[in-house]
Structure 1
Amino acid sequence: MTTSGDQTTRRWSDVLMPRTFTLWTMVLGIASVISQAGIIVTGAAVRLTASGLGCSEWPRCTPESYVTTPEMGINGAIEFGNRLLTFVLAAIAVLTILALWRVRKTHRNLVIMSIVLLFGIPGQAVIGGITVWTDLNPWIVMLHFLLSAGMVSIAALLAHRIGAERRARITRTPAVKLQDGASTKLTSISAVVVYIAGWFTLIFGTIVTGSGPHGGDPSAPRHDFDPLIVTRFHTAPVYLMTLMALILLVVMYRINTSQRQRRAVWGFTAVLVFQALVGFYQHFNGLPIAVVLLHMLGTGLVAWMMTIVLDVFNSKYATRPTETELPTGDAAPEQLTNA
């Protein structure tokens, strides 16, 4: 006989580990992207407030303590607070894996993405520790940021696929394709160039940062590059992305693109314009902290949207039933569509 306690446990199990794609799964997918982009902003806040060595040790905060102490002041609190956010990211990653675990036989690639995000978190923590050990070496700081941007991109892919799976069940559509409209060779290549140029923009942007005044601590080493020259390297791929965005904006109205494809391009274009305006303002106004922080928010948005643009014009992913949604007696096939 089933007790009320067993029923409660089963209900919670079905919520946390559903057998299909539920609203909970969708929430976790979005939370993954937001949290990964958010850690870029909080990390920038650590650097911009000169709190990079607020905790002078790693994994401890001080030689004697794992937590900040009153003597360390606001800088210690900011750095330690940023470290604590690691546990928030880990919790979201674990919950996402659990939410996808029962669909792993039919949606293996999604589970793999969620596991990659989980293992990326301790990787980030270790690189962050090396950053402290090297007194905020700008090359290590650069690696720290780029890993975060990569995790934003993976989280964006995961959330995009979960969203498609959720829509398929709401609309009762057998197979929803991420590339749900027309895509020519020109749009496909343009989307790929957007993604590649986006990464070059992020890479050169970190070099610009490493050559600028906001090193995370007054004693932090800086690059010896000419800031003006590396800024020009940083803006060159931005111009290329702008050109590709214009091509997509023109071509997508001349072919049978979907509303989702058009929204992706317009969304990316809006983020690109926002980021360019903020970048120009900070460059010509002495890099005010609040504006630089806004620019760092933009980097997360760029990583997010350039991934979606790539996806909607190139992905072969299509939704499919979970194991419990298959007709009785059918074997649960492996997911054959590309990620």
Structure 2
Amino acid sequence: MKHLFDQARRRAVNLSQTVWSPTATTLRRWALAAVIANVGITVTGVAVRVTQSGLGCPTWPKCTPDSLLPTAHQEISPINMAIEFGNRLLGFVVLAVGLACLVAAMRLLPRRRALVRLAWLQPIGVAAQGLWGGLVVRSALNPVTVSVHFLISIGLIAACLALYARSQEGDAAPERLVHRDIRTLGHALIAAVAVLLVAGVVVTGTGPHSGDEIASRFAFDIETVVRIHADIVFVVVGLTFALLFALHVTDAPGHARRAALTLLVVELAQGVIGYVQYFLAVPAVLVGMHVLGSTLVWICTLRVVFAMRTRGPLDAPAARQDRLDSVTA
């Protein structure tokens, strides 16, 4: 037992050192942890919805009108309450990871303002997400508030991924690694995927799995919004194929071509899940997989665009030490 305690203590000390005395590598790992945490809470949010637990805690910030913690309530299933409260607790995990990124970015030497600004977006975004979550509950899961709740998570994932990408490169002015028109095509792809995500939340807000039987739905025809969503999918896949083709024929850097190929594979897998869930009447498990797939499509899209430019390499360790010596002299 003492051996296990000592081992846990050493790991805790080592973990704290990655925050208080960070390196570019450890900061990058925290940024990756933030990406994973935000994707994770997005997917668990779907679990809340498909289990009809959206109002398992019917008030906010308290779980019930008279208690911050879950307590027995004759009108609410204990399981639904536990699922909703558990998802709220996960928000503190995401906040803790975001704060770790911020402290690490501020403690990194030499300090890089771009990384600090990106790191600030995480605790601010998580706080905004928490407040918006309260509005979701108070609006009885209005589909507009639920949709924005998801889109805020998408924005947070983008901020985390930007921190991850920037922590691997220098601070020089961005330099294109591909032709200007290919870079423009990449930006058009980001816009198309963003529209696709918005269309996806409209479909979600129109279809089943509202999160609670009293929740309202968008007054759209489900067949129409699904068809529009599918049409945008074809546009996104077409743009991705065009981008992949352009990268190959212009002999673009290998990592950019691999990123585009990965994106296409993820999109095709996501399309298969979407069609299967539609024809199987939207089973709950596939809803979760589809939301996970949507976050992966977003991440892979941003990754492709980051791969098509560079800001130069990080300073060599000796150069960093020389700069530190000049600052402290």
TM-score using structure 1 length:
0.85
Alpha-carbon distance, 1:201 to partner: 0.4
Deviations 1:254-290 (A, max 9, x none): 2232222122111211111111110111111100111
Post-superposition offset of 1:67: 1.2
Residue matched to 1:337: none
Q: Deviations over 1:72-120 (max 9, x none)?
A: 4100000000000011001101111121112376421111111111111
| 8 Å contact from structure 1 (residues 136, 216) kept in 2 | yes
Once the two structures are superposed, residues 114-142 of structure 1 have per-residue CA deviations (whole angstroms, 9 ceiling, x without a partner) of 11111111111111110110100000001
**C-alpha separation in 2, matches of 1:15 and 1:183:** 35
- CA change 1:273–1:326 in 2 (3 A) is farther
Give distance in 2, aligned partners of 1:319 and 1:18: 21
Q: What amino acid is aligned across from residue 287 of structure 1 in structure 2?
A: V
Give the Å deviation of 1:13: 6.8
Is 1:130 aligned with 2:117?
no
Does residue 297 of the first structure (1) align with residue 292 of the second (2)? yes
Q: Distance in 2 between matches of 1:65 and 1:59?
A: 10
Contact 1:17–1:100, Cα closer than 8 Å, also in 2: no
Distance 1:276 1:97 in 2: 36
The unaligned stretches of length 5 or more in structure 2 are 1-9
Give the match for residue 68 of structure 2.
66
Gaps in structure 1 of 5+ consecutive residues: 1-7, 166-174, 333-339
Higher mean C-alpha displacement, 63-72 vs 239-248: 63-72
Q: CA RMSD in A?
A: 2.6
| Shift in alpha-carbon separation, 1:325–1:263, aligned structure 2, 3 A | farther
Aligned to 1:146: 151
Find runs of 4+ consecutive structure 1 residues off by over 4 angstroms.
Answer: 10-14, 175-181, 327-332
> Structure 1's 108 and 177: CA in aligned 2 closer, same or farther, altered over 3 A?
closer
1:102 counterpart = 2:107: yes
Q: Is it true that 1:118 corresponds to 2:123 in the alignment?
A: yes
How many Å separate the matches in 1 of 2:14 and 2:215? 52
- Residue type of the partner of 1:142? S
For 1:39-97, what per-residue CA distance to the aligned partner results, in whole angstroms no more than 9, with x for missing partners? Answer: 11000100010000000000000011111124441000000000000110011011111
Please tell me the residue identity of whatever aligns with 1:114. A
Answer yes or no: is the 8 Å Cα contact 1:137–1:222 preserved in 2: yes
Between the aligned partners of 1:305 and 1:179, the Cα distance in structure 2 is: 20
Superposition map of 1:165-204 within 5 A: 165=169, 182-204=177-199
Q: Aligned pair count?
A: 313
Say whether 1:25 aligns with 2:27: yes
Q: Does 1:209 align with 2:214?
A: no
- Bigger mean CA deviation after superposition, 316-325 or 53-62: 316-325
| Change in CA separation of 1:19 and 1:31 when aligned onto 2, cut-off 3 Å | closer
How far 1:241 moved relative to its partner? 1.4
Q: Please state whether the residue corresponding to 2:248 is helix, strand or coil.
A: coil
| 2:321 aligned residue (322, 325, 334) | 325
Instruction: Provide the identity percentage.
Output: 32
Question: In 2, are the aligned partners of 1:181 and 1:261 still within 8 Å (CA)?
Answer: no
Provide the rounded CA distance (Å) in 1 between the counterparts of 2:66 and 2:227: 45
Preserved CA contact (<8 Å) 2:105 2:111? no
CA contact (8 A) 1:181 1:258 kept: no
